[in-house]
Amino acid sequence: MRILITGGAGFIGGHIADSLTATGYEIAIIDNLSTGERQNFPGSARFFEIDVTNATAVKNALEEFKPEAVCHQAAQMSVSRSVREPDFDAEVNILGLINVLKAAAEVGTKRFVFASSGGVLYGEVTEPAPETTTPNPVSPYGISKWAGERYLQFFSNEHGMNTVALRYSNVYGPRQNPHGEAGVVAIFCTKMLAGERASVNGDGIYIRDYVYVNDVVNANVKALTGNSTGFSAFNVGTGIPTDVNQLADALKLNCQEELKQRELTVTVPEVAHGPARAGDLRSNLISFEKIQAELDWEPKTKVEEGLKATATWFAQRKLDASTP
């Protein structure tokens, strides 16, 4: 089976490429390397260094590879940038998606999996939100993800393509980019391992649903290789609440232990508290009952295990970088 991954040099896309390659699938990658890295995907994969906003280049790549399934991870991921530049956000997240969908339909691709977001679609929720929750995106980023799902439904109806939207909660794990508007886990690990003080916004009582990247990969693999028909949307999360203070405390202990094991004389400072960030949701959780019932998926990695594994990866990267 030939599977094309857009954004396959990125954090999640690279892990998906590794998993599919190890299982024996033929893989191709589309990525403009604006945030991704070549080392994130297997060397055996076909690689097209193009931007999804380039309709002609996307069309040519899909005509050459003729994927049976597409896993669309490429995206403009910054909520704050989407507020500053809603036109850029729409160009990448809506027009870029349409370019890939059109090209996939033209070459007869049967299945299309799209990285959506449970974290921005449902708004403020204190109990795990099911997929039946009325979407209420407030940022251009959230609006573009919601629009993307509607385009998936259109292409399913119009072209008979089986499409799946995976609504991720807060994904974290090894390889996550700590720069720009990245996940808080990657930012905290990078600062703590460097002996710099990590800063929590406001009082830190911001409850989120943290899902480990390996579990997200498994959800993508099941969606890509499953037999769902038409359009489907699934949450990919744990339903377990973790606030930022708990996260920071756990990472501080893990990072200090990693430094000690590597005999690195760095002390992790106490976490600071900065000003609250306007617009941050107090609570956002999603349920996974639907994907469990229909795709036999559930999160396997407990947050404490995932945080430890992530701290270990960032610590090893720090050691490798400092070794001549």
Token pair of 236, please? 């990919």
Does residue 2 come out as left (phi exceeding 0), alpha (psi in the -120 to 50 range) or beta? beta
Closest by CA position to 191, among listed 211, 261, 182? 182
CA atoms within 13 A on the CB side of 198: 27
Closest by CA position to 183, among listed 172, 192, 191, 175? 172
Residue 173 carries which side chain, given as an amino acid letter?
G
Residue 290 carries which side chain, given as an amino acid letter?
K
Catalytic residue check, 151: no
Contact 149, 72 (CB under 8 A): no
Cα–Cα separations (whole angstroms), residue 230 to 145, 227, 268: 19, 10, 50
Set 25, 141, 168, 172: catalytic member: 141
Which strand (E) or helix (H) includes residue 288?
none
3-state helix, strand, coil in the chain (%, to 5): 45, 15, 40
Indicate which residues carry an active-site annotation: 141
